[in-house]
Amino acid sequence: MSWFRQPRDIELSLIDYIRTQINASWAGITVVKTFKQATKATLPVICVRLLDTTSSRREIGANTLNNNYGIIIDILATSDGLRLDLTDFLIDILKDGCIYYEFSQSSSNPEELDKTADGRIRVVSWVQNTRIDFGEGDVGERDRFRQLISIIVAKS
């Protein structure tokens, strides 16, 4: 059994939460982890990935750290209306945070992941929420209705 580190668990917990919420409310929308997967999947696609980690000391002289994680969420929609609706939906579900899970490889099937709840993920700040606009030129299908959401999260 292999346990993952906190950054990986943060990313996987957010993907799991967004995928669960999307599947409960929408049909035909794929949630992926890497942009490479997003470019190969059938539209519409939501791509969730951890961009960076910033750390600060919890208190003076301590060796324990407070970690904040930069998360990028790309929405690749099929229409401008769907882009707007998915953006609003994601903001609405993320504002209250979600369960943080510790993930591990299943001992019976290494391709599956087991998860155990161990706290919550909360949004510390909303960095960016913008339409990606490539101008008037010939824009590819994947970039025509694209949105970028950037947030900072932490485990609590």
Q: Which residue has the higher pLDDT, 136 or 154?
A: 154
Q: Which residues span the domain enclosing 148? A: 6-155
Chain segment 48-66, per-residue pLDDT in tens: 999 999 988 778 877 888 9
- How far, in Å, CA of 153 to CA of 155, rounded? 7
Going by pLDDT thresholds of 50, 70 and 90, the confidence category of residue 3 is confident
Q: Which residue has the higher pLDDT, 79 or 136?
A: 79
Q: Does residue 65 sit within a domain?
A: yes
- How far, in Å, CA of 135 to CA of 133, rounded? 6
And the tokens for 112? Answer: 């599956």
151, with CB counted inside 10 A (0-12, 13-18, 19+), is buried
Q: Does residue 107 sit within a domain?
A: yes
Q: Does residue 1 sit within a domain?
A: no
CATH number at residue 24: 3.30.2000.30
Q: What is the pLDDT of residue 84?
A: 98
CB 80 within 8 A of CB 105: no
Beta bridge partners of residue 3, listed in sequence order:
104
Q: What is the mean pLDDT of the chain?
A: 92
Q: What is the pLDDT of residue 137?
A: 67
Q: How many distinct structural domains can be found in the chain? A: 1
